[in-house]
Amino acid sequence: MPTRPPIPTIRTVASRVGVSVATVSRTLKNPDKVRPDTRDAVLRAVADLGFVPNAQARNFRRQASDTVILLVRDIGNPFYLDVYKGVEEAASAAGYKVLMGDARRDPARVALHVDMVRARHADGLILMTGSLPPSLPGDFLPPIVAALEYPAAGPLPLVRIDNAAAAETAVSYLVGLGHRRIAHVSGPIPEVMSAARADGWRRALEAAGEAVDPALMVWGDFSLDAGRRAVDHLLDAGVRFTALFAANDEMAAGALNALRARGLRVPEDVSVVGFDDTVFATAVDPPLTTIRQPKREIGAAAMRLMVQRLAEGPRFRAEVVVPTELVIRRSASPPGQPAREAERPAAALATP
């Protein structure tokens, strides 16, 4: 019965070359501090044996894991996939690994991931949950970078978008098409992000000289079903509107379904605009005009901030605002008209 060759350690390499383990270690970390011919011999042995330094021993010794946790609110949301991609890109460029964690909207699970940092499973936490456990035992605050959602817990490096300005851009676009009665399906309102998007909607209407009819605004929870219910609610209440701005694409897609179910055409009868530009935006028919969040770039920026934070210590502060843009597809048109615009980014309408 063949016995599997044991995984080589630094000692295996050293004895094969006839040098000490320190020399092997140096060759791998500071090649220029080793005479070229010893270095070559060592490298050859490393390749021959397929030696990979034991990451556990290495990390243990260095007191670092080269791993960060990306903690999201709900891992079932495809939005985070693109953010993850950006994080992963920036991470692997900097020699880091990424663990994605799911908070499931549960503060206890946030605490659990904080403990993973404290247990040195990971070096830091990229938080997209908007909240932090109220008190950490022993006053331990791990390296944290916040992305998109901002916990009230004090100054933290942050990457975000300008939600209000982006929403205002979207609604102003509808105003520009000739709409005046523009409904808004917002996110949960106590939340900062939802409130900011609602503010943008309000500002755009006011800028157009419109009174803001409170009946035009309905709350949702960012789900498909919330979009459907919002439309049903508006129509049942007899609220007149020719356009609808949803605080995310999923609710916009739900709105599309409900409008069609009630016999209304999009965009001829009602124009719809979403937010995020997720995978839903192009899967539905008509494809959604929406605000694109540069999700990859948000992730990459957050990871870059994490690298800096890890290097510079707890006093590091930064705020990165990434630009959004309006993507024009076919779900919005002048009142009563079919769609005309082809899909294209509207550079002129970019928001800071």
Partner DNA sequence: CTGTTAGCGCGTTCAG
Partner DNA sequence: CTGAACGCGCTAACAG
CB of 27 to DNA, least distance (A): 8
Query: Could you say whether residue 263 binds a second copy (CB under 8 A)?
Result: no
Rounded to 5°, the CA angle 315-321-325 comes to: 165
CB of 146 to DNA, least distance (A): 28
Q: How many Cβ atoms sit within 10 Å of the Cβ of residue 147?
A: 29
Q: Is the dihedral of CA 142, 148, 154, 156 positive or negative?
A: positive
Q: Please list, residue by residue across 48-80, b when 16 or more beta carbons sit within 10 angstroms of its beta carbon and e when fewer do.
A: eeebeeeeeebbeeeeebbbbbbbbbebebebb
Judge whether 147 and 304 are in contact, CB under 8 Å: no
Q: Whose Cβ is closer to DNA: residue 34's or residue 217's?
A: 34
Choose the contact partner of 21 out of a second copy, DNA, none; CB within 5 to 8 A by kind. DNA
- In what side-by-side order are the strands of the sheet with 124-128? 97-102, 67-72, 124-128, 144-147, 158-160, 319-321
Closest CA to 292 of 328, 343, 327: 327
Per rule CB under 8 A, count of chain residues that contact a second copy: 55
Give the one residue of 49, 58, 136, 233 binding DNA; rule: CB under 7 A: 58
Query: Could you say whether residue 295 binds DNA (CB under 7 A)?
Result: no
CB of 109 to DNA, least distance (A): 23
CB of 178 to a second copy, least distance (A): 26
CB of 52 to a second copy, least distance (A): 5
Binding mask 29-58 for a second copy (x = CB under 8 A): ------------------x-xx-xxxxxx-
Q: Whose Cβ is closer to DNA: residue 11's or residue 265's?
A: 11
Q: Give 296's contacts (C-beta < 8 A, 6+ positions apart).
A: 82, 83, 85, 86, 89
* DSSP for 233-259, written as a single string: HHHHTT---SEEEESSHHHHHHHHHHH
Choose the contact partner of 44 out of a second copy, DNA, none; CB within 5 to 8 A by kind. none
Q: Whose Cβ is closer to DNA: residue 4's or residue 62's?
A: 62
Compute the chain's Rg from CA coordinates: 26
Cα–Cα distance, 157 to 71 (Å, whole number): 15
Give the one residue of 4, 62, 315, 344 binding DNA; rule: CB under 7 A: 62
Choose the contact partner of 75 out of a second copy, DNA, none; CB within 5 to 8 A by kind. a second copy
CB of 336 to a second copy, least distance (A): 21
Choose the contact partner of 35 out of DNA, a second copy, none; CB within 5 to 8 A by kind. DNA
Give the one residue of 44, 48, 57, 105 binding DNA; rule: CB under 7 A: 57
Footprint on residues 34-53 left by DNA (CB under 7 A): 34-35, 38-39, 53
Choose the contact partner of 19 out of DNA, a second copy, none; CB within 5 to 8 A by kind. DNA
Q: Please list, residue by residue across 257-290, b when 16 or more beta carbons sit within 10 angstroms of its beta carbon and e when fewer do.
A: ebbeeeeeebbeebbbbbbbbbebbeebebbbbb
In eight-state DSSP terms, residue 146 is E
Positions that interact with DNA (CB under 7 A): 9-11, 18-23, 25-26, 28-29, 33-35, 38-39, 53-54, 57-58, 60-63
